[in-house]
Structure 1
């Protein structure tokens, strides 16, 4: 069964709980700055483990001292769903331990 897309209002309400996250091109996105390339790479590995646990994966981009995420739900036609917000909240919980801001 496909996951249901969130309405625009619901998406906007949920985004208020996630400072730094925005809706861009139909995806939830966030870029983190980290203290070093090694810290950024460690965050990517940690996020990848959470994504595997949730069976929900974002596009992850590793820069020198940045990590960017962009996520939407393929089985909802590329719309934003509760799954995307679950992943975003989990990333928000783990990112500070890597020095992300």
Structure 2
């Protein structure tokens, strides 16, 4: 004696109503994201002078150059320390494994 409940069973119907089975996005939002016009709903930025812009860009470039030079110095120091350690290790291993006659 089976009871016919239609196309879906009650269990399947309740399962389809769970939050995890709901669609993640609305179906009616299909606007094209590539629009040729400029949007004006953002923040209003105040206009700055060209001289101030160049000054700020020059400061940013100087900071970047200083940071790059600092990183090169750290790299050079670490390479020198590594070479010193390797020469010390080589001489130590040569002393340990030399065959004395």
Q: Is the structural similarity TM-score above 0.5?
A: no
Q: Normalising by the residue count of structure 1, what TM-score does the alignment of the two structures yield?
A: 0.21
Larger relative strand fraction: 1
Larger relative helix fraction: 2
The higher radius of gyration belongs to 2
Q: Which has the higher contact order (CA 8 A, sep 6+)?
A: 1
